[in-house]
Amino acid sequence: MVRTAFWTLCVIADAGKVPSPKSSSRKPSVDYRDILSAEEFALYARLRDLRKQLAERDGVPTYAVFTNEQLAAIVQRGVTSLTKLREIDGIGEARAGKYGSAVLQVVQTQTIAQ
Protein backbone atom coordinates (compact mmCIF):
# COMPACT_ATOMS: atom_id res chain seq x y z
CA MET A 1 0.00 0.00 0.00
CA VAL A 2 1.43 3.38 -1.09
CA ARG A 3 0.55 6.47 0.87
CA THR A 4 0.73 9.93 -0.66
CA ALA A 5 1.02 12.98 1.53
CA PHE A 6 -0.37 16.39 0.59
CA TRP A 7 0.38 19.72 2.15
CA THR A 8 -2.35 22.31 2.61
CA LEU A 9 -1.78 25.98 3.30
CA CYS A 10 -4.47 28.36 4.46
CA VAL A 11 -4.02 32.13 4.61
CA ILE A 12 -6.50 34.10 6.67
CA ALA A 13 -6.69 37.85 6.12
CA ASP A 14 -7.80 40.25 8.82
CA ALA A 15 -11.43 40.86 7.84
CA GLY A 16 -11.33 44.34 9.34
CA LYS A 17 -8.67 45.48 6.88
CA VAL A 18 -9.97 43.92 3.66
CA PRO A 19 -11.98 46.44 1.63
CA SER A 20 -15.32 45.37 0.28
CA PRO A 21 -15.15 44.85 -3.49
CA LYS A 22 -18.33 46.88 -3.99
CA SER A 23 -17.22 49.89 -1.97
CA SER A 24 -13.68 50.10 -3.32
CA SER A 25 -14.55 49.89 -7.03
CA ARG A 26 -17.26 52.55 -7.04
CA LYS A 27 -16.68 56.15 -7.94
CA PRO A 28 -18.16 58.67 -5.54
CA SER A 29 -21.62 59.74 -6.69
CA VAL A 30 -21.98 63.15 -8.27
CA ASP A 31 -25.06 65.34 -7.91
CA TYR A 32 -25.33 66.98 -11.31
CA ARG A 33 -27.82 69.52 -9.93
CA ASP A 34 -24.86 71.10 -8.16
CA ILE A 35 -22.66 71.09 -11.26
CA LEU A 36 -25.06 72.03 -14.05
CA SER A 37 -27.13 75.19 -14.43
CA ALA A 38 -30.92 74.85 -14.24
CA GLU A 39 -31.21 74.86 -18.06
CA GLU A 40 -28.39 72.33 -18.43
CA PHE A 41 -29.90 70.08 -15.78
CA ALA A 42 -33.27 70.15 -17.57
CA LEU A 43 -31.56 68.86 -20.73
CA TYR A 44 -29.59 66.32 -18.68
CA ALA A 45 -32.86 65.02 -17.18
CA ARG A 46 -34.42 64.69 -20.65
CA LEU A 47 -31.35 62.78 -21.84
CA ARG A 48 -31.61 60.45 -18.83
CA ASP A 49 -35.25 59.75 -19.75
CA LEU A 50 -34.21 59.02 -23.32
CA ARG A 51 -31.40 56.76 -22.10
CA LYS A 52 -33.88 54.77 -20.00
CA GLN A 53 -36.20 54.32 -23.00
CA LEU A 54 -33.33 53.22 -25.24
CA ALA A 55 -32.01 50.79 -22.61
CA GLU A 56 -35.46 49.24 -22.13
CA ARG A 57 -35.91 48.95 -25.90
CA ASP A 58 -32.56 47.20 -26.33
CA GLY A 59 -32.76 45.15 -23.11
CA VAL A 60 -29.50 46.53 -21.71
CA PRO A 61 -28.61 48.40 -18.50
CA THR A 62 -28.78 52.18 -18.74
CA TYR A 63 -25.03 52.59 -18.31
CA ALA A 64 -24.54 50.48 -21.45
CA VAL A 65 -26.25 53.24 -23.43
CA PHE A 66 -24.51 56.24 -21.79
CA THR A 67 -23.17 56.90 -18.29
CA ASN A 68 -24.30 59.87 -16.22
CA GLU A 69 -20.87 61.38 -16.76
CA GLN A 70 -21.24 61.07 -20.54
CA LEU A 71 -24.71 62.65 -20.46
CA ALA A 72 -23.34 65.56 -18.42
CA ALA A 73 -20.49 65.97 -20.92
CA ILE A 74 -23.00 66.06 -23.79
CA VAL A 75 -24.81 68.89 -22.03
CA GLN A 76 -21.72 70.81 -20.91
CA ARG A 77 -20.01 70.66 -24.29
CA GLY A 78 -23.14 71.61 -26.19
CA VAL A 79 -22.87 68.59 -28.48
CA THR A 80 -24.67 69.23 -31.77
CA SER A 81 -23.10 66.64 -34.10
CA LEU A 82 -22.08 63.00 -34.18
CA THR A 83 -18.47 64.12 -34.52
CA LYS A 84 -18.67 66.07 -31.24
CA LEU A 85 -20.50 63.15 -29.61
CA ARG A 86 -17.66 60.76 -30.52
CA GLU A 87 -15.15 63.12 -28.88
CA ILE A 88 -16.60 62.29 -25.45
CA ASP A 89 -14.59 59.67 -23.59
CA GLY A 90 -16.18 56.22 -23.95
CA ILE A 91 -18.47 57.10 -26.85
CA GLY A 92 -17.21 55.43 -29.97
CA GLU A 93 -18.51 54.77 -33.43
CA ALA A 94 -20.94 52.06 -32.29
CA ARG A 95 -22.71 54.10 -29.59
CA ALA A 96 -22.76 57.23 -31.70
CA GLY A 97 -24.23 55.28 -34.59
CA LYS A 98 -26.81 53.47 -32.49
CA TYR A 99 -27.95 56.27 -30.16
CA GLY A 100 -26.50 59.49 -31.56
CA SER A 101 -29.40 60.65 -33.70
CA ALA A 102 -31.87 60.25 -30.82
CA VAL A 103 -29.57 62.21 -28.48
CA LEU A 104 -29.05 64.98 -31.02
CA GLN A 105 -32.80 65.23 -31.58
CA VAL A 106 -33.38 65.77 -27.85
CA VAL A 107 -30.56 68.33 -27.68
CA GLN A 108 -31.94 70.19 -30.69
CA THR A 109 -35.52 70.12 -29.35
CA GLN A 110 -34.38 71.44 -25.96
CA THR A 111 -32.32 74.19 -27.61
CA ILE A 112 -35.28 75.31 -29.73
CA ALA A 113 -37.59 75.32 -26.69
CA GLN A 114 -35.30 77.70 -24.80
pTM more than 0.85: no
Contact (CB, 8 A) for 71 and 47: yes
Kindly report, residue by residue over 47-78, the tens digit of the pLDDT: 999 999 999 999 999 999 999 999 999 999 99
Query: Which pLDDT value is given to residue 109?
Result: 85
Kindly report, residue by residue over 6-32, the tens digit of the pLDDT: 777 766 665 555 555 555 567 778 888
Task: Spell out the domains of the chain, with CATH numbers in brackets.
Answer: 32-113 (1.10.150.80)
Query: Which pLDDT value is given to residue 76?
Result: 94
Mark 57-69 as b/e (b = at least 16 C-beta within 10 Å). eeeeebeebbbbe
- Distance CA(82)–CA(86), nearest Å, equals 6
Query: Which pLDDT value is given to residue 94?
Result: 93
Burial tier of 112 (Cβ tally within 10 Å: 0-12, 13-18, 19+): exposed
pLDDT tier at 5, thresholds 50, 70, 90: confident
Residue type at 91 in one-letter notation: I
